[in-house]
Amino acid sequence: MNNERINRLQEAMARAGIGHAFIANGPDMFYLIGYATLPLERITALSIPAEGDAVLFVPRLEAPRVPEGTVEVVPWDELDDPIAMMAERCRGEDTLAIGDHMWSVFLIRLLEKVGSPRLIPASEVTRKLREVKDETEIDALRRAAAGVDRVLARIPREVRFAGRTEKEVAADITRMILEEGHDEAGFAIVASGPNSASPHHEPGDRVIQPGDAVVCDFGGSVDGYFSDVTRTFSVGEPSAKLVEVHSVVHAAGTAARDAVRPGVACQDIDRVARRIIEDAGYGEWFIHRTGHGIGVEVHEHPYIVEGNDAPLARGNAFSVEPGIYLPGELGVRIEDIVVCGEDGPDTLNQATRDLMVVE
Ligand code: ZN
Ligand code: ZN
Ligand code: ZN
């Protein structure tokens, strides 16, 4: 069965000296054959030799879930030993690539049967494929971004903040993510007042107050591809401090997105954003990288971070999300998904980046 993505993976494996790859669970499996496994104790594993036919070992009761036409399916029965079937496929190979999301219990059982081959995380070969999105993938990312943009447009009109808990606001956002066409609502961070200074705050029982800054960071998936967007709201009229910090973050994000084009190093996008925040005197409060790749995972390669000197390529999709976090006081983050186009940025999110006042 011909599968273009598997073919390209096999070419990469051959170049890297990898004899066989096992992918169980997770985004690599979805990327290669469009199948989202059930992450249960019965293993589902793609078995991919550097040369020859790939097969999917799947529990017989789950075989009907596998999309047709992307790989040869080998169902295993309750009394079979799927790990032995896998071991048989890679006999004699001295280098194996193991999917990043394969449970350690499956790997341990496999190693009991095949000895001690050299092991490589499969992401070392799959990331090169997944980093460059094709038109179908960009289209899915664009539809996902448009969905959360519509949620952002509804928030000031429909969501009351003051007097309600972060959890209640997060529940509203989660509902709207689904209403606006997502298949799954992945996450919704609502971080209010002093909590807004915690970038990955878990929405809690804090009651939102007039005068709060509220960071809302949310997304989900459309056809398996993720959205991820952040805007910062002001409950009632913003303080002078919030207006100032917001304008610095806004400028950093704009400059970083404008700098996107093929050949620019990932770390240079980070530096553009960081320089603006440092020059404004907030450098020590920009405590995370500028962005992350996005696709069939919310966070994937390429990472927009100091130390990553890999050049951007056409089709890379990633977030640009500078932030400033003043402990105990307030935080601001603005996040957009950008695709590196042929000669500049293709920003998927179009929702306003102005500081929006909510009630
Ligand atoms: Zn994050
Ligand atoms: Zn986010
Ligand atoms: Zn993000």
User: 49-62, pLDDT tens digit by residue?
Assistant: 999 999 999 999 99
Q: Which one is predicted more confidently, 40 or 190? A: 190
Interval between CA 55 and ligand 3 midpoint (Å): 34
Asked if residues 240 and 164 have their Cβ atoms less than 8 Å apart, the reply is: no
Q: How confident is the model at residue 23 (pLDDT cuts 50, 70, 90)?
A: very high
Interval between CA 10 and ligand 2 midpoint (Å): 33
Confidence at residue 31, expressed as pLDDT on a 0 to 100 scale: 97
Interval between CA 116 and ligand 3 midpoint (Å): 38
Interval between CA 279 and ligand 2 midpoint (Å): 25
Confidence at residue 307, expressed as pLDDT on a 0 to 100 scale: 98
What tens digit of pLDDT does each residue of 165-191 get?
999 999 999 999 999 999 999 999 999
Q: Which residues 6+ apart lie within 8 Å of 272 measured at CB?
A: 252, 255, 256, 259
Q: Does the domain formed by 132-358 have CATH 3.90.230.10?
A: yes
Per domain, the residue ranges of the chain are 4-129, 132-358
Q: How confident is the model at residue 1 (pLDDT cuts 50, 70, 90)?
A: confident
Checking if the pLDDT of 3 tops 90, the result is yes
Interval between CA 230 and ligand 1 midpoint (Å): 9
**∠ Cα 198 233 346 (to 5°):** 90
**CATH value of 4-129 in 3.30.420.40, 3.30.70.20, 3.40.50.300, 3.40.350.10:** 3.40.350.10
Which residues are close to ligand 2, an ion, with C-beta < 5 A? 217, 228, 230, 335
Checking if the pLDDT of 241 tops 90, the result is yes
Interval between CA 315 and ligand 1 midpoint (Å): 22
Confidence at residue 158, expressed as pLDDT on a 0 to 100 scale: 97
Average pLDDT over residues 137-155: 98
Interval between CA 204 and ligand 3 midpoint (Å): 20
Asked if residues 235 and 161 have their Cβ atoms less than 8 Å apart, the reply is: yes
Asked if residues 232 and 241 have their Cβ atoms less than 8 Å apart, the reply is: no
Residue closest to 302 by CA, chosen among 278, 349, 251, 268: 268
Mean pLDDT of the chain: 97
Residue carrying the six token digits 């603005």? 334
d(CA 181, CA 215): 23
Q: How far is CA 324 from the centre of its chain?
A: 21
Interval between CA 197 and ligand 3 midpoint (Å): 16
Residue type, 268: D
Interval between CA 8 and ligand 2 midpoint (Å): 31
Report the side by side order of strands in the sheet with 317-320: 300-304, 291-293, 317-320, 336-340, 345-347
Interval between CA 276 and ligand 3 midpoint (Å): 20
Average pLDDT over residues 322-326: 98
d(CA 349, CA 151): 12
Interval between CA 215 and ligand 3 midpoint (Å): 13
Checking if the pLDDT of 347 tops 90, the result is yes
Residue closest to 254 by CA, chosen among 187, 321, 156: 321
Average pLDDT over residues 107-127: 96
| Residue 238 backbone dihedrals phi, psi, to 5 degrees | -75, 150
Interval between CA 312 and ligand 2 midpoint (Å): 21
